[in-house]
Amino acid sequence: METEPNIAGTVFAGCKIIDKIGQGGMGSVYKAHHEALDKYVCVKLLAPELAREQRNIEFFLREARSAAKLEHPNIVHVYNFGQENNAYFIVMSYVEGKSLQDLVNEKGALPIGQAAEIMTGVLHGLSHAHSKSVIHRDIKPANILVGTDNVPRIVDFGLARSISEEKQLTMAGEMVGTAYFMSPEQGLAGKVDARADLYAAGATFYYILTGKYPFDGKSSIEVIHKHIGEPVPNIMLINPDVPLWASRVIDQLMRKKPEDRYQSAAEVIEVFTKHVGEDTNTVPVSAESTFDIPEVTARLQAAQRPQASLESSAPKPPEQQAQTQRAAPPPPPPPNAPPQMFPGAKPALQLAALHNGLKIAVHFALTMAGTAAFVLAGASGTATGVLASPFVSNPVTAGFLAGAGAALYGWALWQKPYKFTMAYTFCAMAAAAAAYSGGAYLPAAPGADIVAKGMLAVQLGFSNMFSPANLIVYSLFFYLAASKVVFKGWGFKAGAAAAYLAGLGFTYLYFKAGADVTPEKIWLSVGGLLALVGLVASLTQKSFSLFFSPQLFFLAANLAMFAMFTNPQVEAITAQKEQAEAAAAQQTNRANLAAWQQEMLAAQAEVAYDDEGRPLQPHLPARPAEVLPQARGKLQNAARLEYYKALSARISGALAGSAGIIFIAFFLALLANAYFIEELVESFRQQELF
């Protein structure tokens, strides 16, 4: 490694080097005195070993050209650049202060007021740079200098480029930037615009409010992959003092897709200004939103008037009278004092939680009522088990009830934050179809009216709630519910694992009930092994994986339980068919042999002569071929089809007789409610509470 020479006293472009103040990736930074301007400046020199490659020189000079385009108080000013004394240099303004990285290293997480003020200045600088079509591409705390005047200044435009720049100094597919603050499109070496700088600004804001990187890992590749694929951690769980609006800003700045972020620095500045104000040192920042309720405000003012009257009527010394003429703000409450709240006033978060709670209750009522309406629509027919019967025999009632059910589900859909999602739509449509079918298959007496059928549905539902005939319904419900929450927190993971095992147990009990055959142990072992692997996957996996998915493993385990009881019964039916086929073939062969023997006797008894009177040999019939029974494979396929038809009839009959289909409908409606709650929480987390 080359020893860096001491260049103190050397002059570059009229700047006398004083001493070294920093070291960057491209070279060293020195404090110098600009003799013509009579002021201190910084001189950045390209490292000699890097100057041997033209590409590094172009990178270095591009920083100078990019920064020289910009004139803004939040961006370091470039006075001069070029080559002198066999070295490439950049002369820029000198900032007395520290980098934002050094401030966090020394003080830890910054208070929200100071952090917001710094980021507002950074965003003003970025807005100016973007207006000049310059993208920085490496915004991070180390590239933000905070002067003693607390004014932030952006430095190091070495990776910056012009949007209209034709010649790209980076190779195709090359990633540029710092992994901890790199946008997903930079990590994918995709097209980069101003919104990549906004993403990095969001990551920087996160870092200075917590002292932690948004994503960390053992390598840069791991960190980049997290930026690309993992959601941003909730900053309020790391630093509860961060206000809700700041969490929303970070969340929107760090969206994975550029089109989902703020589209300009000006938009973010507007949010900061709205919540913090122009002077963040005097304007308090609260984690709660403020609501002006006129009635409460009037009562508070009325309560304060008597106290003000008492204070004004008391005699005061002359010096105090002079002081009262100056309007002084009331002292702030003690840091640990509980917030003063007028009875009946609610914090914004409590009001929002109450509002969302009412939404959930309304959505639940609408989906349950809609499902019940579809049950009654299916029950309005005269023929049990015929799906078209309601609209053939009683079209007005069936149409009205089906329309009411559809309207109720439409109303529930209108309550959703996201108006169309595939999972919710599937659950809602499947619930409606199952409810209609359950009503049509109700085993009601002939001539029963719709009211009687509705009461019968309720009676069957309660009486058969724990019937063995509905075990398969509970198995399905537990599987769907577990698959819905298996990738969430540890509490959900434990519940999902228990639900998976419970559903598997119900599958075993359902097919074992009434079975007069011995289940195959090999399939029992396979099902147990699949369940064990699925249990491990459900507790370890954080997202869906095609090769290690708890849903797939437990689905395969349930199929193994099904095969464990199905195969023996299919084999029994196949054996019966083989016996029947063998007996039929034997009987056919006997009949063919007897007929052939009779033909032989008749042929031998008949004597024929030629023209000369000589006897001819009789024409004997050929022996018939032996009829063989059908191949075992064909018989096994026929047996399996026969078993499946019988099983289908058994399941549908049991579900119809025990209102199991109606159970499925309401379970699907519950699942739709779970999707609704999830969407509502996600929407509440992402929306801007301005």
Catalytic residues: 138
DSSP for 449-472, please give it: -HHHHHHHHHHHHHHTTT-GGGHH
Q: Residue 192: what residue type?
A: V
**Kind of pairing between the strands at 27-34 and 39-46:** antiparallel
Going by C-alpha positions, the residue among 166, 247, 161, 249 that lies closest to residue 210 is 247
667 membership: H or E segment, kind and range = helix 660-686
Contacts of 335 (CB under 8 A, 6+ apart): none
DSSP for 341-360, please give it: --TT---HHHHHHHHHHHHH
Rounded CA separation 178/654 (Å): 63
Rounded CA separation 624/316 (Å): 135
The angle subtended at Cα 447 by Cα 441 and Cα 450, nearest 5°, is 60
| Beta bridge pairs of residue 421 | none
The DSSP call for residue 48 is T
Q: Residue 232: what residue type?
A: V
Rounded CA separation 170/56 (Å): 11
Q: How many residues does the chain have?
A: 690
Residue with tokens 């480029």: 161
**Kind of pairing between the strands at 608-609 and 97-99:** unpaired
Going by C-alpha positions, the residue among 408, 360, 349, 352 that lies closest to residue 677 is 360
Rounded CA separation 615/604 (Å): 12
Q: What are phi and psi of 82, to 5 degrees?
A: 155, -150
Longest dimension (CA), the chain: 170
Report whether 133 contacts 164 (CB < 8 A): yes
Report whether 469 contacts 660 (CB < 8 A): yes
Q: What are phi and psi of 117, to 5 degrees?
A: -65, -45
Burial of residue 75, with CB atoms counted within 10 A of its CB: 0-12 exposed, 13-18 middle, 19 or more buried: buried
Strand segments, DSSP code E, in 465-584 are none
Cα-Cα-Cα-Cα torsion 366, 412, 454, 395, nearest 10 degrees, comes to 140
Rounded CA separation 247/688 (Å): 10
Q: Which residues of 292-322 are buried (b: 16+ CB within 10 A; e: fewer)?
A: eeeeeeeeeeeeeeeeeeeeeeeeeeeeeee
The DSSP call for residue 19 is E
Q: What are phi and psi of 175, to 5 degrees?
A: -90, 135
Report whether 436 contacts 374 (CB < 8 A): yes
The DSSP call for residue 75 is B
DSSP for 80-120, please give it: EEEEETTEEEEEEE---EEEHHHHHHHH-SPPHHHHHHHHH
Q: Residue 35: what residue type?
A: E
Q: What are phi and psi of 22, to 5 degrees?
A: -175, 165
Distance of CA 443 to the CA centre of its chain: 43
Q: What are phi and psi of 560, to 5 degrees?
A: -65, -40
Q: Residue 440: what residue type?
A: A
